[in-house]
């Protein structure tokens, strides 16, 4: 077994870090109980639609057709959220959010879960089942960020520390 180390960048994948994965119905229930939904998709993806009440902290930024690591992901998360906050992480289908959840767990965030299926769903790999995402299930979606929930607003918290 590999020794766990603190993740220095969002691209550092701590494979041994156990993260609970949940499906969109459980995420919806947890949000009703006060959990915070953090959408780790890029800003353009977030503005195309996201779960109501979601915060946006991109794990990766869209640069043309490519996704590149957000070097400020950890810093913004630490400034915007307490390490005891109850956080649900979601992305497009569940890949980025799982890596982001592993990163946060390695940083000492205590209550982090990953929403498998993400916003649009996971088509599944051969031999595994597809998972419907948040939007295809008809759950509440908006294109507007609530006050204080956009990436630019959350990023500003890093300069006010």
Q: Which residue has the higher pLDDT, 9 or 68?
A: 68
Residue 52 within any structural domain of the chain: yes
Residue 129: give the domain boundaries.
Answer: 22-156
Secondary structure class of 22 (helix, strand, coil):
strand
pLDDT, one tens digit per residue, over 129-160 is: 899 999 999 999 999 999 999 999 999 999 86
What is the domain-level CATH number for residue 96?
A: 3.40.250.10
Evaluate whether residue 130 is within a structural domain. Answer: yes
What residues contact residue 69 under an 8 Å CB cut-off, 6+ apart? Answer: 9, 10, 11, 59, 60, 61
Distance, in Å, from the CA atom of 78 to the CA atom of 73, rounded to the nearest integer, reads 9
Say if 3 falls within a structural domain: no
Number of domains in the chain: 1
* pLDDT > 70? residue 5: no
If phi over 0 gives left and psi between -120 and 50 gives alpha, with beta otherwise, what is residue 94?
Answer: left
Give pTM, 2 decimals: 0.88
- What is the spatial distance between Cα 118 and Cα 141, in angstroms, rounded to a whole number? 13
Q: Is residue 78 part of a domain?
A: yes
Q: Does the residue 5 lie in any domain?
A: no
Reply yes or no on whether 91 is catalytic. yes
Identify the active-site residue in 30, 77, 89, 91: 91
Percent of the chain surpassing pLDDT 70: 88
| 110 found inside a domain | yes
**Is position 128 within any domain?**
yes
pLDDT digits (tens, 9 = 90+) for 37-83: 999 999 999 999 999 999 999 999 998 889 999 999 999 999 999 99
């Amino acid at each position: 077994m590999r020794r766990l180390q603190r993740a220095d960048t969002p691209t550092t994948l701590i494979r041994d870090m156990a993260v609970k994965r949940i499906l969109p119905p459980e995420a919806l229930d947890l949000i009703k109980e006060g959990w915070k939904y953090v959408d780790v998709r890029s800003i353009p993806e977030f503005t195309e639609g996201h779960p109501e009440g979601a915060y946006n902290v991109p794990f990766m930024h869209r640069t043309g057709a490519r996704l590149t690591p957000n070097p400020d992901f950890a810093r913004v998360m630490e400034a915007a959220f307490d390490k005891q906050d109850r956080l649900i992480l979601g992305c497009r289908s569940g890949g980025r959010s799982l890596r982001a959840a592993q990163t946060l767990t390695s940083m000492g965030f205590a209550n982090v879960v990953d929403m498998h299926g993400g916003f649009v769903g996971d088509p599944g790999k051969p031999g595994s089942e597809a998972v419907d995402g948040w939007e295809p299930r008809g759950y509440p979606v908006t294109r507007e960020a609530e006050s204080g929930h956009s990436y630019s607003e959350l990023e500003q918290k890093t300069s006010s520390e």
